[in-house]
Amino acid sequence: MASHRKSRPAGTRVAGIRTPALATAALTSVALLSQTANANPSTDDKPSLEEVEKKVDDLYRQAESATEKYNAAKEKTAKQRKRVDTLLDDLAQRTQTLNDAREELGRNAAAQYRTGAAAPDTATFLLADTPQDYFDQSQLMDRMTGRQKEAVDDYFTQQSATMKKRQEATRSLETLTESQNDLQAAKTTVQTKLADARELLSKLTAEEKARLAAIEKRKQEEAARKAEELARQQAEAERQRQEAAQQQETTEPSDSSSSNSSSDSSYATKAEKALAFARSQIGKPYVWGATGPDSYDCSGLTQGAWKAAGVDIPRVTYDQVNAGTTVPLSSAQPGDLVFFYDDVTHVGIYIGNGMMIHAPKPGAYVREESIYYDGESAIHSVVRPA
């Protein structure tokens, strides 16, 4: 190992080393320490277990974000493909109508030729590049009957409409191609993130995996404690609300209170159906992009749950978060949707007492879990969809 000390003149005594024997021993120790450090260079480079856990969690979150982008691109692609198909069908019908109008013009020209009404002008008409090139000549238009003029007008109307539809279909096809490219890019991103996470986990020893499980268990215990605390707060708030409602009934007419009660009852009925559906999916695997019936991603599960209650909500978290009324976490009711992270990439359905049902992440199954499963700061908002 190269020394970082400046060279000293021969014969100069280094302070603290009084004999050649001591100097030799010291230099030998330095050399041995240097060899030991160089023999294990990877020890410092290996990430800690906490760093691995954070990296894996980040990768799963990134995969879930990409999953929502995939879902949005898939939905957009399906709508665009349907639109393109409709446009192409319409274009085919218009093209047929245009051909019928062209044939009508041909029959009129042939009839004029047979009767001698058109003379040489008809031949010019038939040889023209487009009917407009010839019919613009006013002398021919003057010789046409009302029916013939109607046929010409119809031809040009159909031709113009067909051209517009053809251009519209072309633009839609281009948009469809872009949507398909976005879909493929999002799919590739998901697969890459999941592969990276699996690779990190595969490098852990049995002991490290056990320690990682212990860390996860402590997080779950803390999340459960926070859920119990929220449940107590909500129970107290509900007790105070009922007391206030009873006092109001004794001093004010009951029309408004009965109206609110009816509204709450209607939501509770729908929420009960949504929760019944969600509970019946517990144990099914998380699969990115899945909407059931055998597997789900997070937003696929919440969409399916509320659909079972007769309420249509959008497919992806970015849209679901805007599909209802935002309420404070302290006022969350069973059936409400709980969204997570600043980029709104995860969602679960609240079941009460600080708990929810959700499809957590790849490798996991639909389950009940505390809404604090990733810490209080991870909660973005609570939305009442119906």
**Residue 374 predicted with pLDDT over 80:** yes
Is the C-alpha dihedral spanning 282, 286, 291, 294 positive or negative?
negative
The predicted model scores a pTM of: 0.62
Local confidence band at 31 (pLDDT 50, 70, 90 cut-offs)? very low
The pLDDT mean for the chain works out to: 77
Burial class (CB in 10 A: 0-12, 13-18, 19+), 190: buried
**Residue 34 predicted with pLDDT over 70:** no
Q: What is the DSSP string of 322-362?
A: TSSEEE-GGG--TT-EEEETTTT-EEEEEEETTEEEE--ST
Tokens 């595969």 -> residue: 202
Would you call the peptide bond into 41 cis, given omega within 30 degrees of 0 as the criterion?
Answer: no
Structure tokens at 99: 């051909």
Read off the pLDDT of residues 148-197 as tens digits, 9 standing for 90 and up.
666 667 667 777 777 777 777 777 777 777 877 887 887 888 888 888 88
What pLDDT is attached to residue 157? 77
**337-365: burial string, b at 16+ Cβ within 10 Å, e else:** bbbbbeebbbbbbbbbbbbbbbbbbbeee
Cα 377–318–170 angle (5° rounding)?
155
User: In this structure, are residues 179 and 82 in contact, taking their beta carbons and an 8 Å threshold?
Assistant: no
What pLDDT is attached to residue 315? 94
**What's the CA gap between 304 and 335, in Å, rounded?**
12
Q: Identify the residue with better confidence: 151 or 126.
A: 151
Candidates 94, 315, 346, 361; catalytic one: 346
Candidates 298, 332, 337, 349; catalytic one: 298
Is the C-alpha dihedral spanning 218, 222, 228, 231 positive or negative?
negative
What pLDDT is attached to residue 16? 37
Catalytic residue status for 358:
yes
What pLDDT is attached to residue 323? 95
Catalytic residue status for 346:
yes
What pLDDT is attached to residue 318? 92
What pLDDT is attached to residue 198? 82
User: In this structure, are residues 382 and 332 in contact, taking their beta carbons and an 8 Å threshold?
Assistant: yes
In the three-class reduction of DSSP (H, G, I as helix; E, B as strand; rest coil), residue 380 is classed as strand
Read off the pLDDT of residues 295-341 as tens digits, 9 standing for 90 and up.
999 999 999 999 999 999 999 999 999 999 999 999 999 999 999 99
- Going by the DSSP 8-state scheme, the letter that residue 365 receives in this structure is B
Candidates 358, 361, 380, 384; catalytic one: 358
Q: Residue 148, Cβ neighbours under 10 Å: how many?
A: 20
**What's the CA gap between 128 and 113, in Å, rounded?**
16
Share of the chain above pLDDT 70, in %: 72
Local confidence band at 29 (pLDDT 50, 70, 90 cut-offs)? very low
Is the C-alpha dihedral spanning 223, 275, 337, 74 positive or negative?
positive
User: In this structure, are residues 285 and 295 in contact, taking their beta carbons and an 8 Å threshold?
Assistant: yes
Give the mean model confidence (pLDDT) for residues 22-51: 49
